Amino acid sequence: MSFTSLSFFAFFICVFVIYWLFPKKQRWIILLLASLGFYVFYDWRILFFVLTTSIIIYLTALLLTKIKTQQERFFEQNAELKKEEKKKIKQKFKAKQKWLLTFGVLLSIVILSASKYFDFYFWVDKIPVLWQFETKSIFAVLGISFYTFSALGYLADVYMTKISAEKNFCKFLLFISFFPKIMQGPITRYEELKEPLFAEHKLEYNNLAHGATRILWGLFKKMVIADTLAGIVLAVFGAPNAYGGFENFIGVLFYLIQDYCDFSGYIDLALGLALMLGVKLPENFRRPYFARTVDDYWRRWHITLGTWFKDYVFYPLSMSKFSLKLGRFGKKNFGKVGKFLPAIFGLIVVWLLTGLWHGANWNYIAWGGFYGIIIILGICFEPLWNKIYGNFNRNTWWYRILQHIRTIFILCVGRIIFMTNSLKDAWIMFAKCWYWDKTADFTLWNFIGYASFGVALGCFGLVLIIDIINEIRPQTTMCEKLQKVHVVPRWTLLVLLFAAVIMLGYYGSGIHSFDFGYQRF
């Protein structure tokens, strides 16, 4: 049941009406039933994975809290203990918590792996049979990477006593399974979602207006632009050798547009749906193609995934005993550059895990390694660039344009690695993008036609204009800016947007619908 299907909107309208008619204190129960119902409609077997992970994390968190409480009571009853004795006892309690945390994390990762990684074919040249195995995954579990990371973040926060463990299992299950965020995030933290999910909300016009506008804008980007271009993108990336250089080049550019509208379209839908139910989800997309560096790009694209890796992987690794020793070794042997070794170590691990998070595929791992190397080189060479540039003003318009072009070029290379079926295909596509002397045997435009192609690019121009306005004036959102417009032009624009979705989206033009890109992760 896709977010762009008529069946989903019939489902959501029912949920919306029942939710706002229900007593305030029990409305969260409607959200829980709706979320579980969404899974049942999609594939009832998914409930097994969601419930298993939820039970494991819920019980582990309660046990962690129980150990912490036992420790506090013990010290209250034995206040006369000496400092050294207290330290040893604290270490024993901490060791119990670490073992429990490790147990919960490993079990959750095993469940995640059962769905995602069993079909990974580990082959390495000149290494014997030990590495050459292949098994089949059970089936693709909708949103398993997203809700698993939310669950692991919750468990880590309980372990670090940032939050208290939720005693009500049903409330915890709602936090894990809340349906607007399940397909592609955002990856939420319990502390930021606890109050919005369980508060006694009032039906507010602003929430309804902003939510409906974001839903409409998300549908426009997904159905009119992303789904229209998806046919060409899948064809070219699926067989780059079958097309000429120009077609490969166009395929890469179209993928930049298609991926942008697909992912941001989903985020608009997810946040809009949640807002109409009174729940404000964190922003997960902030105009990443306006970034001047790759590092800045990843602070704007899939924001919650980046912050999750930063808080739960990068910082713990960078501050670990091994990293501290590595830093001292680096300073002693490599001077100023050596001080970056802990950060480099953390970035390598984070980016390889980010690649693996997307799936068990060598292209994804190479993609993660590629971005990790780019960011590490940027860190290492930053002191050198600062010396070379000196007092040069890097905020001139032409220098900013050069930075944007450089970043977009790196993103194009990254997408070639990411989207092709193999590393061999990635190399073929990259090489062909520079070599235009051969034309394909059949034209790509057969997938969508010239008219749909023009409409999609024209509509993306509208998206680009609005994003430029938001980039120049980021203090207010698009919805807030729209609310300041006079009622007649505002509603005229919304009606035109709705008509575009119906007439130019796949409901009207016959273009096939496609799943959201991140849905498969």
Each of the 521 residues of the chain gets a pLDDT tens digit; together they read 678 888 888 999 999 999 999 988 889 999 999 999 998 888 788 888 899 999 999 999 999 999 888 887 877 777 777 778 778 888 888 888 899 999 999 999 988 887 776 654 343 343 343 333 333 444 567 788 899 999 999 999 999 989 999 999 999 999 999 999 988 879 999 999 999 999 888 888 888 888 989 999 999 999 888 888 888 888 889 888 888 888 889 889 999 999 999 999 999 999 999 999 999 999 999 999 999 899 999 999 999 999 999 999 988 888 888 888 877 777 777 777 677 788 888 899 999 999 888 877 888 999 999 999 999 888 887 777 777 777 777 778 788 888 899 999 999 999 999 999 989 999 999 998 888 765 554 566 665 555 567 788 888 988 998 888 888 887 777 777 777 777 777 778 888 888 878 777 765 445 566 777 666 66
From the list 192, 149, 58, the residue with the least C-alpha distance to 357 is 149
Q: Could you give the residue ranges of the DSSP H alpha helices within 164-243?
A: 169-177, 190-198, 205-219, 227-238
Domain ranges of the chain: 6-203, 206-285+434-520, 289-392
Cis upstream peptide for 186 (omega within 30°): yes
Q: What are phi and psi of 200, to 5 degrees?
A: -90, 90
Cα distance between residue 290 and residue 170, in whole Å: 41
Q: Are 285 and 303 in contact (CB under 8 A)?
A: yes
158, two tokens: 């309980």
Task: Identify the pLDDT of residue 500.
Answer: 79
Going from the C-alpha of 182 to that of each of 50, 187, 485, the distances in angstroms are 11, 9, 33
423 class by beta-carbon count within 10 Å (0-12 exposed, 13-18 middle, 19+ buried): middle
Angle in degrees, 0-180, between the axes of helices 227-238 and 449-472, rounded to the nearest 10: 110
Task: Identify the pLDDT of residue 451.
Answer: 57
Residue 122: CA count within 13 A, CB half-sphere:
10
From the list 248, 246, 57, 46, the residue with the least C-alpha distance to 150 is 57
From the list 58, 285, 266, 259, the residue with the least C-alpha distance to 180 is 266
Helix (H) or strand (E) holding 302: none
Cα distance between residue 35 and residue 227, in whole Å: 26
Q: Which residues pair with 274 in a beta bridge?
A: none
pTM beyond 0.75: yes
Task: Identify the pLDDT of residue 438.
Answer: 54
Contacts 24+ apart (CB under 8 A), 112-117: 112/144, 112/145, 112/148, 114/138, 115/49, 115/139, 115/140, 115/141, 115/144, 116/140, 116/141, 116/144, 116/145, 116/359, 116/360, 117/356, 117/359, 117/360
Q: Are 521 and 359 in contact (CB under 8 A)?
A: yes
Does residue 505 come out as left (phi exceeding 0), alpha (psi in the -120 to 50 range) or beta? beta
From the list 289, 305, 336, the residue with the least C-alpha distance to 189 is 305
Planar angle of CA 226, 230, 234, nearest 5 degrees: 155
